[in-house]
Amino acid sequence: MHVLLSTYGGRGHVEQYVLDLQEVDETQVAVVGGKGAHLGGLSRIEGIRVPGGFCVTTDAFRRIMAEAPSIDDRLDELSRLNPDDREAIGTLSAQIRRTIEGIAIPGDLAAAITRALAQLSEQAAYAVRSSATAEDLPTASFAGQQDTYLNVVGPTAILQHVRRCWASLFTERAVTYRQRNGIDHRTVHMAVVVQQMVFPHAAGILFTADPVTGNRKVATVDAGFGLGEALVSGLVNPDVYKVRHGEVVAKAIAAKQRAVHALPAGGTQEVAIDSQRQEQPALTDAQVVRLVRLGRRIEAHFGHPQDIEWCLVDDGFQIVQSRPITTLFPIPIPETDDQENHVYVSVGHGQMMTDPMKPLGLSVWRLTAMVPMCEAGGRLFVDVTRRLASPASRAGLLDAMGRGDPLIRDALETVLDRDDFVPSLPDAGPGGPPASGASTPIETDPAIVTELIERSQASVAALERDIRTKTGPALFDFLLEAFEEHKRVLSDPLNLQAIMAGMEATWWLNDKLQEWLGEKNAADTLTLSAPDNVTSEMGLALLDVADVIRPQPEVVAFLQGVEDEGFLDELAKLAGGTEARDAIEAYLDRYGMRCVGEIDITRPRWRERPTTLVPVILDNVRNFEPGAAERRFEQGRQRAQKKEQDVLSRLRALPDGDRKADEAKRMIDQVRTFIGYREYPKYGIISRYFVYKQALLEEAERLVQANVLAEKEDIFYLTFQELHDVVRSKRVDDQLIQQRKDAFRSYHALTPPRVLTSDGEAVTGAYRRDDVPTGALIGLPVSAGTIEGRARVILDMAQADLEAGDILVTTFTDPSWSPLFVGIAGLVTEVGGLMTHGAVIAREYGLPAVVGVQQATRLIRDGQRIRVHGTDGYVEILP
């Protein structure tokens, strides 16, 4: 059917304004948009019926846009607007829509469309549907962004609605979506699908994977009477069927009071359904199973779970749309494709970093990690199937997970409760830490911690010295050896014993003091101002930096306007600026390798982006008196000492009190000696990471100079091995880097689950507790005490603006957040466990804290008053 017009377009490009659906497939998104390409692909699948129709191509759209040069200036204006400036976006986008709708369709283009109509049937009814080039893609759905018009009759009406579809590329919601996702308006073009209407008995949506849990083996069918518009618009509640392995396993039949029907002269109307029919199922079970079978065929063709719009006409299904489900979290790829069931636990929840990581970050973490990992959606997971399968290791795994994050434990138990998902094995086999988490006893001697810190420092110093001479392929050989040394330092038995000694003593004290004295979380106060905690020292040291800056009004005023990363050089020109610069430089020398999300080597470090620290320094200048760091530490130490005396004297008053007090004293000494060191191995890892990163960026600079790479940061989108190959061959796949950038951008929209199965099911876990007031948000108690205050919901440390007494509410806090902890009164996070960094530092500073509060940053609004129950593990939102 296609109509060719070679008189327009230039440079040998032949314009194609109209293409029959049968002539296109999913490779032609640029020509017919996402919807048109998918419909073309669908029409080629054997046994799938798609209503006939054609596409008005993006060539036609570009020609229309060229007819109105004023649109170009408005697009420039749009691109400069803030995505949150709804009023300005609304005004500008309305102007663009009016301009497009007012353009007369050139005669040759109108003739091409009417000729295509005549070949089908001029007076038939059609659906006229927008089909944008950035729509229905595996990484972004854009669902509902543009317009669809049903039951359009006659060539004049169809041409008018084609114009409306072009204009709908600039609806306010479509423009805002592109602005927020960093998509240039000029790169998105609009095709239009004109498709014969079907008048169904029933219609609805089929998801070939469960859209709520992500389970790829469960299909969900939503069904209602009449046109599918009633469901899509939310006019009626649909019947919902769930199908697994070819049978309906669950269904809920709704009272469907209304339907949308087509009118004879064009358009649609809502109609009431008579009462006897309302609760009848829209489909029989046999029809549902047949529909899912068609859906599986479509899913196999596109290679991705699909969201499919269907119509039932005379007991036959017609498919009117299929798009990828973009909200599903990808399934990790196991080391071996054994076709067995697998259970994966999120690494990010344990490391307090659930953001996506770039490919270089993922591969370096995997190369330096102590256990094998797999990745999905830009996140890392550990396969725990074998340890769950063996009764011997299962109990230890569940105990360790439960102490860290009860939601992970509950999710794992939920999977275990299912019949035969995890097979039982005689033993767990090699791999992974010891099942019980128990470690060899260690002598309580501060000299052990001193020795371990000195060993780590010597190892980092040797790395810094030896890497200087390495470039090219030799650098990568050296780094592979350095990664082995990295793992050797971490797996040093003494290092593991010291870490476990602090944690086990904490657990012992909490368990025993609750049993003997009825006191919850007593260890929290006993760990205040523990020595050798490099993370809590980092927060206090920034108070000392504020002490140097506070007396210098010129420096304070200058820092309030800082935006450029070179500000340290400018400081020296101000009165008192040299001392301020030296204080910040000294801080960066010790802590500059740290940053938010620091387990991803690609993240910008404080040394690379020192402006990150400026808001925190200014908060400290404003909220604290001189000498605050030393006072805070000393007050904490004295509170811990007083608590120790109180606990021991109360124990001695009990039956068998001297024995209990002696045991408790031994454990208190063990906690005081080792719990601070718990933070040091991570500091050592990140110190090494910064050395690796600087060497790799120098290598990247050489690749830029040699015109191999466009920019240094492109290496972040390659794995370590791929980068090694690029350095050797001096050739790079630019297309791969662009694909990785697009994928990384799409991963931000995905929420990583704590536990994920090989069926793709995200298992969330729940707190099984009934000791919490109605309406309170439940979490894990990690630092005792109760505090009321103003909630500050902060997602980016650089945006912090805290007053004394504020309670920090955020998604996660890795060590880089600890400088904020000195200025807050309490902490609430969505992710965390008893021994994650945020919890350890909250206890060190005596901050009541509740972690693992699901959706805390959405349920608590910035500025609300809240009460944090750090002993009992819940948060109340106050009136």
CA 179 to CA 83: how far, in whole Å?
6
| Cβ–Cβ under 8 Å, residues 746 and 304 | no
CA 871 to CA 879: how far, in whole Å?
22
Residue 774 DSSP label? T
Token couple for 542: 């920034």
CA distances from 753 to 373, 382, 473 (A): 16, 12, 38
CA 190 to CA 355: how far, in whole Å?
33
Residue 186 DSSP label? G
Residue 481 CB contacts under 8 Å (≥ 6 apart), including other chains: none
Report which residue type is found at 684.
G
Please name which of 444, 518, 400 lies closest in space to residue 834, comparing C-alpha atoms.
Answer: 400
Task: Return the HEC string of 642-705.
Answer: HHHHHHHHHHHCCCCHHHHHHHHHHHHHHHHHHCCHHHHHHHHHHHHHHHHHHHHHHHHHHHHH
Token couple for 490: 């971490």
13 an active-site residue?
no
> Active-site residue among 185, 189, 837, 869?
837
CA 785 to CA 519: how far, in whole Å?
12
CA 389 to CA 367: how far, in whole Å?
26
CA distances from 129 to 4, 190, 306, 609 (A): 22, 10, 19, 47
Torsion of CA 503, 504, 507, 513, to 10 degrees: -120
| Cβ–Cβ under 8 Å, residues 287 and 312 | yes
Tell me the chain's radius of gyration from C-alpha atoms: 31
Partners of residue 125 on adjacent β-strands: 153
CA 817 to CA 797: how far, in whole Å?
7
3-state secondary structure of 259: strand
Beta strand ranges found along 493-579 (DSSP E) = none
Report which residue type is found at 775.
G
The burial class, CB within 10 Å (0-12 / 13-18 / 19+), for 720 is buried
Which ranges constitute the DSSP H helices of 168-245? Answer: 172-180, 229-232
DSSP state letters, 426-487? S---S-SS-TT---------HHHHHHHHHHHHHHHHHHHHHHTT--HHHHHHHHHHHHHHHH
Please name which of 107, 118, 120, 121 lies closest in space to residue 63, comparing C-alpha atoms.
Answer: 107
| Cβ–Cβ under 8 Å, residues 524 and 589 | no
CA 550 to CA 444: how far, in whole Å?
41
| Cβ–Cβ under 8 Å, residues 192 and 168 | no
Partners of residue 16 on adjacent β-strands: 4
CA distances from 615 to 478, 537, 561, 802, 804 (A): 39, 19, 10, 9, 14
CA 747 to CA 379: how far, in whole Å?
9
Number of helices (H) and strands (E), helices first, in the chain?
Answer: 32, 27
| Cβ–Cβ under 8 Å, residues 863 and 790 | yes
Please name which of 18, 107, 93 lies closest in space to residue 61, comparing C-alpha atoms.
Answer: 18
The residues annotated with a catalytic role in the active site are 837
